[in-house]
């Protein structure tokens, strides 16, 4: 029996995805024999509404000096983070004297650079040294540590309290959510604002996008669970802003209770979540069935194409693809290679099932019959870029929201 990371109530898994490797653990052939696996099971806490992994590998196995994900590789995400920074400046900084922003998990500085460029006091906290170095090389103040109450106290002593604490695709990675929320309460001014966004549980359930679940994502949040978790630390949800990024995300805006007006968006979303059944165990039983049906359809399609002698190449060696490949037990005979623009992934093999990852030039040189879109969340940007692939007879396979060939 395990206990909920938010409220400590007992929780039990409703579904296991089987043995899973580290999602971003791209590896060399000589490392196959010692590859690490954990059982990836998920649970839903009926008490506080939080959806979480039952076990999560140690943080040092996931976030280190060779972390493979660099935020700035997508043009769309660059524009998204500029808009996010503008939203913070407009909403929080207006009328404040010399405001100070702290970003947790600032990666290569994709968002903080806008604060730096506008001359604002800023600090990034990024535990993966290699991505933090990219930010530092561009003059973005960055500290390579894990955030907790102790660090919050040291930051206050050195820089004073923050006007805004922000993050994107970070909060859902942190198992000690209570420690982090307490640290944020310490770090923020009494009228400070906390803003974070993460993949949204409501979208994941609606789209059966189970690939959002992997080692790094210890939580998949809803407004209900965020409100509960941060409410314990004196925060209240003051606004919610849906985002289309990562296949459907939610930006949560929180402040110390009573310090800011609460938008009507909050009550409306909480009500929508009840109507969707996000508070009920039976919703997750159905989600499990939907995942199994999706797996069956994808494996069936790949088997068929393999038997017909078609060439299939994966597009985007995403973290998400590790869940799909391992849960569906997709093999190198199904997928010739995965094309990815990230140099650190190229020349290596995908975690667990060991499909080669090759540079994008290999995809361009010899386009396959079918391309399996692992980076489905970037579909708009990719389809625009890959018009020649389609015009040349290439077809896309997607699996979110359902397995299909896009003609």
Under the rule (CB under 5 A), what is the footprint of Zn ion? 4, 6-7, 9, 45, 47-48, 50
What are the beta bridge partners of residue 357? Answer: 338
Q: How far is the CB of 349 from ligand DWN (least distance, A)?
A: 14
- Distances in Å between the Cα of 134 and the Cα atoms of 70, 74, 137, 144, 340 are 9, 16, 5, 12, 20
The only residue of 169, 208, 249, 346 in contact with ligand DWN, by rule CB under 6 A? 169
**Given the complex with ligand DWN, which of 63 and 93 has the nearer CB atom?**
63
Rounded-to-integer distance, Cα 223 and Cα 261, Å: 17
**Given the complex with ligand DWN, which of 77 and 255 has the nearer CB atom?**
77
Please state whether beta strands 338-339 and 13-20 pair in parallel, antiparallel, or not at all (unpaired): unpaired
Quick one: what does residue 256 bind among ligand DWN, Zn ion, none, with the CB cut-off 5 to 8 Å set by partner type? none
Rounded-to-integer distance, Cα 363 and Cα 114, Å: 34
Contact between 126 and ligand DWN per CB under 6 A = no
Quick one: what does residue 382 bind among ligand DWN, Zn ion, none, with the CB cut-off 5 to 8 Å set by partner type? ligand DWN
The only residue of 103, 197, 216, 239 in contact with ligand DWN, by rule CB under 6 A? 216
Contact between 338 and ligand DWN per CB under 6 A = no
Q: Is 84 exposed, middle or buried (0-12, 13-18, 19+ CB in 10 A)?
A: buried
Contact between 178 and ligand DWN per CB under 6 A = no
**Given the complex with Zn ion, which of 228 and 327 has the nearer CB atom?**
228
What are the beta bridge partners of residue 143? Answer: 125
Rounded-to-integer distance, Cα 282 and Cα 75, Å: 39
Residue in the block written with tokens 């929780």? 11
Quick one: what does residue 316 bind among Zn ion, ligand DWN, none, with the CB cut-off 5 to 8 Å set by partner type? ligand DWN
Contact between 319 and ligand DWN per CB under 6 A = yes
Beta strands in 169-308 (DSSP E): 188-199, 219-220, 235-243, 249-256
The only residue of 138, 206, 263, 341 in contact with ligand DWN, by rule CB under 6 A? 341
Residues that bind ligand DWN (CB under 6 A): 69, 73-74, 169, 216, 246, 316-320, 340-342, 360, 375, 377-378, 381-382, 385
């Amino acid at each position: 029996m395990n206990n909920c990371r938010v409220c400590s109530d007992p929780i039990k898994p409703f579904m296991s995805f089987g043995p899973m490797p580290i999602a971003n653990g791209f590896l060399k052939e000589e490392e196959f024999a010692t590859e690490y696996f954990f059982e990836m099971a998920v649970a839903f806490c009926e008490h506080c509404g939080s959806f979480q992994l039952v076990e999560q590998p140690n943080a040092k196995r996931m976030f280190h000096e060779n972390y493979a994900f660099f935020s700035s590789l997508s043009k769309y995400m660059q524009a998204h983070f500029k808009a996010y920074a503008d939203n913070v400046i407009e909403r929080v900084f207006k009328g404040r004297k010399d405001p100070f922003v702290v970003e947790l998990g600032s990666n290569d500085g994709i968002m903080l650079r806008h604060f730096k460029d506008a001359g604002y006091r800023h600090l990034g906290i990024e535990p993966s040294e290699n991505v933090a170095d990219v930010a530092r090389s561009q003059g973005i103040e960055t500290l390579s540590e894990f955030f907790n109450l102790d660090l919050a106290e040291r930051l206050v002593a050195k820089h004073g309290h923050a006007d805004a604490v922000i993050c994107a695709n970070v909060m859902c990675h942190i198992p000690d959510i209570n420690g982090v929320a307490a640290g944020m309460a310490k770090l923020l001014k009494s009228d400070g604002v906390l803003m974070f966004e993460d993949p949204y549980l409501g979208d994941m359930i609606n789209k059966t996008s189970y690939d959002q679940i992997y080692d790094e994502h210890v939580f998949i949040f809803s407004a209900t669970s965020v409100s509960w978790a941060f409410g314990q630390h004196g925060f209240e949800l003051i606004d919610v802003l849906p985002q289309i990024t990562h296949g459907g995300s939610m930006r949560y805006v929180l402040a110390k209770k009573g310090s800011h007006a609460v938008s009507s968006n909050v009550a409306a979303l909480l009500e929508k979540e009840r109507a969707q059944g996000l508070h009920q165990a039976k919703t997750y039983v159905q989600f499990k069935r939907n995942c199994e049906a999706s797996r069956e359809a994808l494996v069936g399609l790949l088997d068929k194409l393999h038997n017909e002698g078609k060439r299939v190449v994966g597009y985007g060696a995403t973290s998400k693809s590790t869940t799909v490949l391992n849960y569906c037990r997709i093999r190198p005979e199904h997928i010739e290679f995965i094309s990815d623009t990230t140099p650190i992934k190229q020349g290596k093999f995908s975690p667990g099932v060991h499909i080669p990852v090759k540079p994008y030039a290999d995809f361009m040189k010899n386009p396959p019959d079918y391309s399996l879109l692992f980076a489905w969340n970037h579909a708009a940007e990719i389809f625009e870029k890959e018009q020649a692939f389609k015009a040349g007879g290439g077809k896309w396979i997607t699996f979110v929201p359902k397995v299909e060939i896009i003609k």
